[in-house]
Amino acid sequence: MQRLLKELQGEVLAIPGRDIVVAFFLFLFILPLITTEPFILRIVTFANIYAIYAVSWDLLCGFTGQINLGQALFFGVSAYTSALLNYYYGLPAWTTIPIGALVAVGMGFIVALPTLRLRGIYLALVTLAFPIVMTGIIFAFANFTGGEIGIPGIAPLSPSRTITYYITLLVMLASVFVAWKLVDVKSKIVRTGIILQAIREDEITARASGINTIRYKLLAFCLSGFLAGIAGGLYTHVMRIAGPSTLELMTSVYPIVWTIFGGVGTIFGPVTGVYILFPLVESLRVVGEIRILLFAILVVVVLVSMPEGIAVWVRDKIERTCPRCKLINMATRRTCRACGAELHLIKGR
Amino acid sequence: MLQNILINGIMTVGIYALLATGFALVFGVARIINLAHTAFYMVAAYFTFTFATVCGLSAPLSATVSVAFTILIGLGIYKLCLDRIREHETTVLLVTVALAMVFQESLFLVFGLYQRAAPTFVSGFWEVLGTRVSYQHLITLAVVAVVLLGLWALLYRTKLGTATRAVAQDREIASLMGINVRIVYLIVFGIAVALAAIAGAVVAPIFTLDTSMWIHPLLMICAIVVLGGLGSIKGSVLGAFILGFAETLVVSLVPMGSFIKTAVALTIMIIVLVVRPEGLFGIAFEEERL
């Protein structure tokens, strides 16, 4: 118990970035106690779902370097699978969502197999095509899939708004935690973090070091598909309709927007991006038609001034890594909290 | 029927070829994936419409002026936004999409939802093989051919072209040889925007204008450029031929074809890439080869 407390103090409390994360998650937990305004709860519920979705993109693109411009494929396929299972067979949400996610994993596998030969921008542009091909298939079988209207009348996740909120919040926390652990470079239990980042940095060298890059790229596609699939299934059951909008171009673009806005290649980046941008866009509805214009201008301005993303920019302002022992310190400290090295002489990270 | 398919196919191919070469040029030289490329095409089309109907300029003059304005906007955007973030690949992707959305929404605010078409340059048509081909279509084809030939001459017959190709092959060495790489980037971006703007100006009288008209060509030129091989002008033109005709055939022969035209074109691209991962004329760069 005492060791746990000490660990908590050293690994969480002393690092300002993690303080903010903990405080923010605590805030999310007590949010329904503060307000039960349906509008706010609904927005944060969707933000929870989209956080999973954005993290799934970051896992594949930020960490493994496989730029996927068609993430909507996983989201949409899972959304449609959940909807069809619920609509035709009446299965409840807790079975349709995992099945949808598994189908998305299958899609990840199918997409990855032909595209493993492609790299960089070729991969990006080919993946862009998959959701559009899928939309074509959906329209071709309009009798079964509902065509442009989609499949309405899906069973809700739970009867109460607050319970739905907590379900999405817990699933989000679990997914983000798993993703964070999987990509942790320093982890002694799983090696995926360091291997995936090695593939991103230099695939040939990774292969020369004896890493089966094909297997790990497939793994990255499947993991990303699974997380995006969970998000897609949750979305269907909260929205209570699955339509072709889950496969359209903007659905692929949004996770990219959130992730890059927050900071690509960090798990906290996409989460930050979602919780800043999604409520902002929704509340901008009050200004009417110029909403998307304002949003796009904001994205351009922020990214041109902070090209690495807003969360990374903030982190670099409030944290400083000790040059001697590599511990993370608060930026206000003059000496390292462990080894006493002079910190105020170095600039930034 | 056959003649119609042929004429429409050649039109589509020409427009796609203009757009795709510009896109391929910017990627090949400056390594910028400019997803706002077709937004410039849309902007130029709207400018042509505005100058012709609101300001009352003659059609060819309004096309010229709108191309000039679009190039200025493009260069301004390159200087203000893209030049600073060129090193961050994913950020460039996002910023260019956001810029395209800025254009789309601005045009939406000014023009609203109504679909419009600009007046034609010349009216009348020419009867060939029993079909009527309007002079507007012929002019469009002529412009496309001239511009593509001019681009080829620029790249292979001038000093600027040599510098551009040198930068495309190896930025560092080109810089050591005394080529001002930043200026080359700027010029190439300007040329690419000009190509897109010309395409926009010539289609303004033929197609209906609406604020989402940039999305479909963007998907198509991505497919074309990947199909032909990134950074290869020849490949882009050939890719435009394949996908442009495929699209026209699907639209005119398959019932409900316009719903699945993109899906068919993209499936062709996927099949080609699975067989040849670097595209038809792709160059695998030494340090980028797997």
- The per-residue pLDDT of chain B, averaged, comes to 84
The range of the structural domain enclosing residue A215 comes to 40-259
From A3, A14, A124, select the one nearest A65 (Cα to Cα). A124
Residue A16 belongs to a domain: no
Chain A nearest-CA residue for B221: A125
Residue A15 belongs to a domain: no
B22/A contact by beta carbon, under 8 A: no
Residue A281 belongs to a domain: no
A54/B contact by beta carbon, under 8 A: no
Residue B290: pLDDT band (50, 70, 90) is very low
Q: Radius of gyration over alpha carbons of chain B, in Å?
A: 19
**Does residue B185 contact residue B82 with C-beta atoms inside 8 Å?**
no
A14/B contact by beta carbon, under 8 A: no
Determine, for residues A296 and B102 on separate chains, whether the beta-carbon distance falls below 8 Å.
yes
B110/A contact by beta carbon, under 8 A: no
Report domain extents, chain B. Answer: 2-211
Q: Each residue of B229-284: pLDDT tens digit?
A: 776 788 888 889 888 888 888 888 877 667 677 778 778 877 877 777 777 776 55
Residue B122: pLDDT band (50, 70, 90) is low
A137/B contact by beta carbon, under 8 A: yes
Q: Each residue of B198-238: pLDDT tens digit?
A: 999 988 888 888 888 888 888 888 888 888 877 678 888 88
Chain B partners within 8 Å of A247 (Cβ): none
Chain pair A-B, CB pairs under 8 angstroms? 127
**Residues contacting residue A49 through CB under 8 Å, at least 6 positions apart:** A168, A172, A231, A234, A235, A238
Determine, for residues B90 and A126 on separate chains, whether the beta-carbon distance falls below 8 Å.
no
CA pair distance A226, A220, nearest whole angstrom:
10
Q: Each residue of A225-270: pLDDT tens digit?
A: 999 999 999 999 998 888 888 888 888 888 988 998 898 888 899 9
- Which of B99, B215, B266 lies at the smallest CB-CB distance from A133? B266
Element (H, E) at A152: strand A151-152
Q: In this structure, what is the dihedral angle of CA atoms A83, A87, A91, A94, given to the nearest 10 degrees?
A: 30
Q: In this structure, what is the dihedral angle of CA atoms B68, B74, B79, B82, given to the nearest 10 degrees?
A: -170
| pLDDT confidence of residue B282 | 66
B226/A contact by beta carbon, under 8 A: yes
Determine, for residues B109 and A124 on separate chains, whether the beta-carbon distance falls below 8 Å.
no
Chain A partners within 8 Å of B97 (Cβ): 253, 256-257
Exposed, middle or buried, A188 (CB in 10 Å: 0-12/13-18/19+)?
exposed
Start-end of H helices in A37-92: 38-57, 72-89
Q: Each residue of A180-200: pLDDT tens digit?
A: 888 888 777 888 888 998 988
Q: How many CB atoms lie within 10 A of CB A240?
A: 16
Q: Each residue of A93-141: pLDDT tens digit?
A: 888 999 999 999 998 888 888 777 777 777 887 788 888 888 888 888 8
B122/A contact by beta carbon, under 8 A: no
CA pair distance B164, B19, nearest whole angstrom:
19
Determine, for residues A133 and B267 on separate chains, whether the beta-carbon distance falls below 8 Å.
yes
Q: Each residue of A42-68: pLDDT tens digit?
A: 999 999 999 999 999 999 988 888 888
What is the arithmetic mean of pLDDT over B149-153? 92
Residue A346 belongs to a domain: no
Residue B192: pLDDT band (50, 70, 90) is very high
B126 CA: distance to closest CA in chain A (Å): 37
What secondary structure letter does DSSP report for B119?
P
Interface test with chain B among A300, A306, A312, by most B beta carbons within 10 Å = A300
A330/B contact by beta carbon, under 8 A: no
From A11, A28, A61, A48, select the one nearest A263 (Cα to Cα). A61
A20/B contact by beta carbon, under 8 A: no
Chain A partners within 8 Å of B267 (Cβ): 129, 133
Residue A127 belongs to a domain: yes
A299/B contact by beta carbon, under 8 A: yes
Q: How many domains does chain A have?
A: 1
The reply to whether the predicted model has a pTM over 0.90 is no
Determine, for residues A296 and B95 on separate chains, whether the beta-carbon distance falls below 8 Å.
no
Residue A317 belongs to a domain: no
Tokens of A56: 């799934």
Q: Each residue of B154-184: pLDDT tens digit?
A: 988 999 999 998 888 888 899 999 999 999 9
Chain A partners within 8 Å of B92 (Cβ): none
Q: How many CB atoms lie within 10 A of CB A306?
A: 18
A-contacting residues of B 188-217, CB under 8 Å? 215
- Which of A67, A290, A296 lies at the smallest CB-CB distance from B90? A67
Cα B160 to the center of its chain, rounded Å: 21
Residue A141 belongs to a domain: yes
Among A164-173, B25-34, B207-216, B254-263, which stretch is predicted with the lowest mean pLDDT?
A: B254-263
CA pair distance B53, B209, nearest whole angstrom:
14
From A335, A128, A123, A272, select the one nearest B290 (Cα to Cα). A123
Is pLDDT larger for residue A344 or for residue B15? B15
| pLDDT confidence of residue A347 | 60
| pLDDT confidence of residue A35 | 82
A292/B contact by beta carbon, under 8 A: yes
Residue A35 belongs to a domain: no
Beta-strand pair A151-152/A241-242? antiparallel
CA pair distance B65, A239, nearest whole angstrom:
48
| pLDDT confidence of residue B245 | 87
Chain A partners within 8 Å of B251 (Cβ): none
